[in-house]
Each structure stands twice: as C-alpha cells, then as structure tokens.
Structure 1
Amino acid sequence: MRTLIVTEFITVDGVIDSPGGGSHPRAGWTFKDVPFAPEAYEIKGREQVEADAMLMGRVSYDEFAPIWPTMEEFAQYNAMPKYVVSSTLANPEWNNTSVLRSLDEVARLKESDGGNIIVHGSATLAQGLAAAGLVDRYHLLVFPLLLGDGKRLFAGGATSSLTVAEQETYSNGVVKLVYDVVR
C-alpha cells in the first residue's frame, strides 16, 4: 500500500489559504509576512524526491498547472504522474495528469504499486481524504501567524490520533511538524 502524505504551509490558527498567492486578503503570507529561512524548506525538496505521484483537487490543479511546468525546481513533480480529483475536469493539459472522479478511486490508487502520493494545497480534498481515513502522514510547516479566516486544513469533523515523526523549529519561527496518523 502506498503512503498518502498531505503537505501544507499552515498558520498557527490552521489557515492554509493562499500561502504563495491567491484570493485571500493576505495572500502570499509565507514570504510576505515571515523572513525567509532556507533550512525551513528542506522538507519540500525531500518530498519531491520521495514522492512517486501527486494528488490534488481541481482548484489547486487550476492554480498549479499554468505555473509549475515552467519552474525548474519542480522538474520531478512535472515528470511524475499527477492525479486530480474532480467531477468536472475533462482534459487536463499538464503533462502526465489523470482525473479521478471519487475518493473511492483515490483509495484504489493507494492500494496500487508505487511510492508516496503527495497532496499539496487542496483544502477540501485534504479534509475529504482525512474523513475517509486515507491520509497516512501530515507534513506541516507552521508559520507564526494568525490570519483569522480562510480555508483551513482541519475542518469538517474528521478526527485522528497523530504521533510526531519529526519536529524542528527554525530561526524565522516556522516549525516543521511531521505527524503519522495512528491506525
């Protein structure tokens, strides 16, 4: 069985909305409001190397597909299989992208042969995956900010017990928390 990892930039109050840009009033909070510390992003490079597939929701696909293929630092993501959970996307244009129509299809993907499946962004999808018991691990970079409102990672009533697999605090106040879901 493959490991499904949800990876997020998240604020102390649980907001994951628009960390690099987007529609949130404080969009870009990861680089506008917190000093850059390169060591805090080590996990992002590791995720790309260790992942075998990327899973995302339709909104994240629409945001990533026009930009990520042009970025050299995402070469491995651009080459790997990508899956979009969507009831409306018909013909994805991003290289090596397939559409899954349901969480049941995600469960079948998890049961297939292969390595880690990484989920970036995709608040609604991450919540659905958690509620369905499909998430195995969380990679969280917690930013020392309170945004008050916006899309949150943990909502919708899903509950899980977690164990800490890794933790580290960086000079800019960002905290890396890696949690395994207890089954």
Structure 2
Amino acid sequence: MRTLIVTEFITLDGVVDSPGGGDHPRAGWSFKEVDFVEEAYEIKGREQLEAEAMLIGRVSYDEFAPVWPTMEEEFAEYNAMPKYVVSTTLTGPEWNNTSVLRSIDEVAELKQGEGGPIIVHGSATLAQALGEAGLVDRYHLLTFPVVLGEGKRLFSGREAGKLALVEHEAYSNGIVKQVFDVVR
C-alpha cells in the first residue's frame, strides 16, 4: 500500500487558500506577507525526491499545469512523475504523465497499489475529502505567521483521529514546519 501525504502552506488560523496566487483577496500571502528564508522550504525539495506520484484536484491542476512544466529546474521531478487529477469534468489533460481519476474511490484504489508515496499539493477540497475518507497517512505543513480569517481550510471538522508529530522546526521568519503521521 502506498503512503498518501498532504502537503500545505497553512496560516495560523488553518487557511490554505491561495498561498501563491488565486482568488482569495490576499492571494500570494505566503510570499507577500512573510520574508523568504530558504531553509524553511527544504521540505519542498525533499518531497519532490521522495514522492513517486502527485495527486491534485481540478482547480490546482488548472493553476499548476500551465506554469510548472515551464519551471523545469524547480519542478523537474514533479514534471516527470505520474500525476493524477481528481475531477469529474477534466478530459484530455495536457500536462505530461497526467491521468484523471473520477472519484475518491479511485484514489483509494490507487493508494492500494504498488509504489512509493503519493504527494497531494494544494487542493483544499480534495485534501478535506481524503481526510474524511481516512486515506491520508501524513501531513507536511508549513505554518505561516499569518491570519486570514476566511478562506478554504485544510480540515472540514469531519475528520476523525489523532496525529503524531514526527518532525518540526521553527525558522527565523516565523514559519513552522510540522510533519504529522495519522495514528490509526
């Protein structure tokens, strides 16, 4: 069985909406409101090297697919690996190595297969659905010292269970890395 890892930029009040851009009124908060400290993003490079597949929702696909393939130096591993988009409407994805899954049940089947970790980027709605379905094994969170008050959140409140902190570090710009395993 494969490990499913949700990775998020998250605010102190639990919002994961539009950290790099998007529709939120304060879109781009992850770089506009917090000073860049390179070591805070070490986990992002590690995720690329360790993951064997990427899982994203349709909105994230629409945001990532036009940009990430042009950033070969930053996202070489992600661009090369298999990518899965959970969508009931997407047809003919153009990003190389991309397949469409039509339901959370199909994600569960993918997870049951052989292979290494599957990384879930962005995709708040998908991350909530995966958490509610009990499919998430680990959370990689970079918590930013920002409060947005509103926006899409990582947890719906319908998830159940306990998390075990397995890695953490605080950085000079106030970002805190937290890696949690889901305890079953």
Coarse TM-score class (shorter-chain normalised): over 0.9
Aligned residues: 183
Measured on the aligned residues, the alpha-carbon RMSD in Å equals 0.6
**Moved >4 Å (runs of 4+):** none
Matching of residue 15 in structure 1 with residue 36 in structure 2: no
Measured in 2, the distance between the counterparts of 1:68 and 1:164 equals: 30
| Unaligned residue ranges in structure 1 (runs of 5+) | none
| Unaligned residue ranges in structure 2 (runs of 5+) | none
Give the share of equivalent positions with the same residue, in percent.
77
Report the CA distance between 1:25 and its aligned residue. Answer: 0.7
Name the amino acid aligned to 1:39: E
Name the structure 1 match of 2:42.
Answer: 42
Map Cα deviations across residues 138-166 of structure 1 (whole Å, 9 max, x no partner). 00000001000011001152122000010
Name the structure 1 match of 2:154.
Answer: 153
Q: Within 5 Å, give how 1:1-183 maps onto structure 2.
A: 1-71=1-71, 72-183=73-184
Measured in 2, the distance between the counterparts of 1:143 and 1:136 equals: 22
Measured in 1, the distance between the counterparts of 2:127 and 2:157 equals: 11
Question: Normalising by structure 2, what TM-score?
Answer: 0.98
Map Cα deviations across residues 113-155 of structure 1 (whole Å, 9 max, x no partner). 1100000000000000001000000000000010000110011
Map Cα deviations across residues 7-55 of structure 1 (whole Å, 9 max, x no partner). 0000000000000111111111011100000000000000000000000
- SS at the partner of 1:157? coil
Name the amino acid aligned to 2:123: S
Question: Normalising by structure 1, what TM-score?
Answer: 0.99
